Amino acid sequence: MKQCAAALVTALFVATGPAVAEDAVNVDSTQADVALVKASKFAPDDVGYFVIDLADNRVVAQHNADRPFIPASVAKIPAVAAGLEILGSDYRFTTTVLADGEINDGVLAGSLILRGGGDPFLSSDDLQTMAKALAASGVKKVEGSFFYDASALVEVPQINDMQPEAAGYNTGVSALSVNFNRVRLNWNRGRDPSSAFAAAISESRALPLDGVAIAFAAEEPPGPFVRAGTPSEDRWLLAPSLPETGEDWLPVGDPSLVTAEVFRALAAEEGVDLPDPKPGVTPEGARALVNHDSIPLGEIASGVLHYSNNLSAELIGLAASQRLTGRRLSLKDSATALAAWWKLRRPEADWTDFAVENHSGLSSRSRTTPRQIVTMLEESSELMGGADFNELLKQIQWKGVNGWARVKTGTMSYARGLAGYINTESGSRLAFAIFFNDVEKRAALDDAFDRHVRAIDGASRSWRNSALRLEETLTTGWAKRF
């Protein structure tokens, strides 16, 4: 049941009482599954799962099916599935170079604009192709300004401010993003003088970036890599205690500026002299010189669900909510908009406690239930004009089991999730979601949060390994039994 944008805008941010759906057959978890949970190191309330047979929607296993859990990256399922339906699997994100002025003898008598369209997979290689096309258009020099226009979507310097500032998965978000908004840091303290630099990395090349400032701190900072300014300033200090040489990845906090700097450097290689980039908005009447279209959204979605890239999920969700509402929304409001879309699409489902802070799942404040995720998986099998959402998920197989599964994982400290489809040994297809949370330990981590600490809590590693073992035992059991 598709809903028009006007209906969604009306419903957006309005609290509605969810309809509570009763199971067609009220089936408890098997005694064996309950025994496994009780025998594990987890409290019974720390584990929840819900499993249905898609042939008849019969519930075959459940435990705490309506208990809210932190979904982590399992939250990418509702975001990506909604994006595919709202935008279409053939949708392409367009990045454009425009001219505001005439070109005479290779000189643009006006300004050049690099305008972003939210391409989640834009790379330095794509920008190099665009720079070649710009040179071929006849532009060799720009008399006016070189603007970058990221106004299509909201810009933020990091997805979640409750994550380490140097975490490569917690990048800035912008309609102009390149190379997943990460740069590779290289340093060598053995040289005289010491050297350190950041580079934009694509499949074919590494491009040093002057705009990302790297320096060694005179005294030991509170972490190995520390921002020297605000989150939107890409200036970093390195700890003197680091190994003599090394490399790592750092997030970009001002993606649109970095993207423009990469394009400027690549244009220079093609003989096009551009001024220093400045933020701006494309003026009326500017004409397109170069367009770059992304690969289709269906292919992007498969990559996002396989590799769980946070930035890409956010950009898909932002584009989808903008299509729905006609508004440029914040990450949280955008996630709320897609949550409203799901509630309108399946109004009979129980959406109690369903709340997502963003589209990537990078938040300990998001909540969903196993039943809600299975409802969305069930619905997603009918999305994309009848295409099979199952085919976009990563396939896994188990030793000693003839069945297999396609899944999306989610992992944070003291939060683990797995959801998707199981093809059983008998030939049935199940939709399932299973979550593990230790809310108290997660809350304690959040209370003690230090943005300079990037290391994962050691005790949470052991907790996660226990979750993985029980998760595999349960899912392989379902694959064999049903």
- More confident of the two residues 1 and 46: 46
Query: What residue ranges in 174-325 does DSSP mark as E strands?
Result: 182-188, 195-201, 206-209, 213-216, 225-227, 235-238, 245-251, 277-279, 287-293
Q: Is the Cβ–Cβ distance between 439 and 412 less than 8 Å? A: no
Which pLDDT value is given to residue 54? 94
Q: What is the pTM of this model?
A: 0.93
Residue-wise pLDDT tens digits, 244-258: 999 999 999 999 999
Supply the pLDDT for residue 480.
95
The one-letter code for the residue type at 55 is A
Q: What is the pLDDT of residues 81-131, one digit of tens each?
A: 999 999 999 999 999 999 999 999 999 999 999 999 999 999 999 999 999
Name the E strands within 357-439: 394-397, 404-412, 415-423, 429-437
What per-residue confidence (pLDDT) applies to 29?
A: 52
Predicted confidence (pLDDT) per residue in 344-391, tens digit:
999 999 999 999 999 999 999 999 999 999 999 999 877 654 557 999
Q: Is the pLDDT of residue 59 over 90?
A: yes
* Model confidence pLDDT, tens digit, residues 28-55: 556 788 889 888 889 989 999 999 999 9
Structure letter (DSSP) for residue 52: E
- Report how far residue 50's alpha carbon sits from residue 43's, in angstroms, rounded to the nearest whole number: 17
> Quick check: 324 and 7 in contact, CB under 8 A?
no
Q: Which amino acid is at 78?
A: P
pLDDT at 191: 78
On the question of pLDDT at 156 being above 90, the answer is yes
| DSSP secondary structure, 224-235, as one string | SEEESS-TTS-E
